[in-house]
Amino acid sequence: MPLILGTNSIKDTGFNVPNSLRFQANDYLKIDPSGDGNLKTWTTSFWVKRQIGSNQTMWDAGTNGGNNYSPFFFQADGTLRFYEVVGGTLQSFNFITNRVFRDNSAWYHFVYRVDTTQGTDTNRIRLYVNGVQETSFSTAAYPAEDYSTLKNDATFEMIIGSASDNKGNDMQGYMSEFVHIDGQSLAPTSFGEFDEDSGIWKPIDVSGLTFGTNGFYLQFKETGTSQNSSGIGADTSGQDNHMAVSGLAAIDQSTDTCTNNFATMNPLDNFIFSGTFSEGNLKVQTDNSSYASGTGTIGLSTGKWYWEIEYDAKSSGSTDYSLIGILGRQVTADDKAVGDETFGYAYYSENGEVRTNNANVANWSEVTYTTGDIVGVALDLDNSKLYFSKNGTFIDSGDPTSGSTGTGAVSITAAASTPLGVYFPAVSYYDGSTNGTFICNFGSPPVAISSGNTDGNGFGNFEYAVPSGYFALCTKNLAENG
């Protein structure tokens, strides 16, 4: 389990990116260039927070269903591959990294830099990750001098989030600040910089760049589905190279970005849990044969935090076996749900109790919940108190602002005294033959919110009011309040 988010865990980047786009299967953006741009020199820059899965194409050009394609994608083993096939034949242009990209809790920045006019072959194709050039490849085949790529060729569509050859191997996860520069080979410093205090690579304002004939800048500010300036794929570069939208809708716009990274559920902590993850790792279905806990990506040791989890669905005809809570120890067995051991606390749907160490908490009011209900979790680690709400009402007249008094709270072991030194958000389904599905909202929800409530710092989008002094699980809040 990661105890702290890696890339972009930073208080204030100076330049803030407000939006990203959440991709799932069959979601993509595409454009058919109106004319040829520069086929030999171009640069593409974008930020990605991935969902672990099979081959996932982020950026491509080619013919739909044809024998020409140029994908840039994560392979199933976590390596990154980019190459070109023309007329069904693999070209000399072919790269596979030795490095694997498996961190689903952090944002990666890729700069894909091409200039085939260079006499030195290693300068014709360059890849940068978080500001540093990638030089270790298991395969590194450079194109011939003056090779013409498929990118910027009017014959071929350019596509984001899927593969042009068959509209498969779709991207799953988040993308932000997608920039394509036609006609220039630019260093990563055109798109980002290292923070002088933390050393973390962060984005900079790119609006002053020259984008070129087929260049574009996608900020994902708009929510429409048309190919125009009001669409999700609106080009804000001034070139009006707006993207056509397929499968994406307003709900796929997210505030989880490369300058404010929100928690999700963690598919890397899944060996025993065996859950199925979707919607940018915010929707999770438990396994039919495991009670084990699924956990979030942010571990919390101090401060006051709030999140909401909707108990979304259950196996047909099953009893309500949902468990929603926190966990301060490693998941070690498939028959141990959150609340079955010490350092785990969970609100149990079947009997409405809160469980810890395989027993119910004394004197807790029994308020059951079922599918469609939203459980709010208010975690006060300054006073070692835990509060639960059902559809906006805190159980036992709970008052998360009561501090050490802990009105209506469950007393928990101090985070520093747990095996992990932190608590993670956690869910389980307490049955070995059925499953449950949870939709998790740590501040950047994958579903529509009817009311819209932020925390005191203005972050998050919650169905119910956030208790005063509690905060959404994102890196800007962690830097100030964690």
Mean pLDDT for the stretch of residues 100-127: 97
- Tens digits of per-residue pLDDT, 297-313? 999 999 999 999 999 99
Percent of the chain residues topping a pLDDT of 70: 97
Neighbours of 34 (CB within 10 A): 11
- What single-letter amino acid sits at 76? A
Mean pLDDT for the stretch of residues 340-360: 95
Name the least confident of 7-21, 253-267, 291-305: 7-21
- Tens digits of per-residue pLDDT, 19-42? 999 999 999 999 999 999 999 999
Mean pLDDT for the stretch of residues 139-162: 97
For residue 23, list its beta bridge partners: 173
- For residue 196, give both structure tokens: 């002088």
Mean pLDDT for the stretch of residues 373-396: 98
- Tens digits of per-residue pLDDT, 412-460? 999 999 999 999 999 999 988 899 999 999 999 999 999 999 999 999 9
For residue 132, list its beta bridge partners: 129
- CA–CA distance, 106 with 208 (Å, rounded to integer): 27
Residue 344: pLDDT over 90 = yes
- Tens digits of per-residue pLDDT, 176-204? 999 999 999 999 999 999 999 889 999 99
Residue 173: pLDDT over 90 = yes
- For residue 443, give both structure tokens: 């501040």
Higher local confidence (pLDDT), 333 or 243: 243
Q: pTM for this structure?
A: 0.95
- CA–CA distance, 255 with 261 (Å, rounded to integer): 8
Distances (CA, A) of 22 to 71, 282, 444, 470: 19, 11, 11, 26
Banded pLDDT at 2 (limits 50, 70, 90): very low
- What single-letter amino acid sits at 272? I
- CA–CA distance, 51 with 448 (Å, rounded to integer): 21
Residue 1: pLDDT over 50 = no
Residue 384 has phi, psi (to 5 degrees) of 55, 50
Quick one: which of 346, 382, 380 has its CA closest to 364?
346
Mean pLDDT for the stretch of residues 120-140: 98
- Contact indicator for 325, 343 with CB cutoff of 8 Å: no
CB-side exposure of 356: number of CA atoms within 13 Å?
Answer: 18
Higher local confidence (pLDDT), 350 or 4: 350
Percent of the chain residues topping a pLDDT of 90: 88
- For residue 190, give both structure tokens: 């055109």
| Residue 76, pLDDT score | 93
Mean pLDDT for the stretch of residues 129-144: 98
Banded pLDDT at 3 (limits 50, 70, 90): very low
R_g (Cα) of the chain, nearest Å? 24
Domains and CATH numbers, the chain: 20-254 (2.60.120.200), 276-481 (2.60.120.920)
Q: What is the 3-state secondary structure (H, E, C) of the chain?
A: CCCCCCCCCCCCCCCCCCCEEEECCCCEEEECCCCCCCCCEEEEEEEEEECCCCCEEEEEEECCCCCCECCEEECCCCEEEEEEEECCEEEEEEEEEEEECCCCCCCEEEEEEEECCCCCHHHCEEEEECCEECCCEEEEECCCCCCCCCCCCCCCEEEECCCCCCCCCECCEEEEEEEEEECCCCCHHHCEEECCCCCCEEECCCCCCCCCCCCEEECCCCCECCCCCCECCCECCCCCCCCEEECCCHHHEECCECCECECCECCCCCCCCCCEEECCCCEEECCCCCCCCEEECCCECCCEEEEEEEEEEECCCCCCCEEEEEECCCCCCCCCCCCCCCCEEEEECCCCCEEECCEECCCCCCCCCCCCCEEEEEEECCCCEEEEEECCEEHHHCCHHHHHHCCCCEECCCHHHCCCCCEEEEEEECCCCCCEEEEEECCCCCCCCCCCECCCCCCCCECCCCCCCCECCEHHHHHHHC
- Contact indicator for 248, 227 with CB cutoff of 8 Å: no
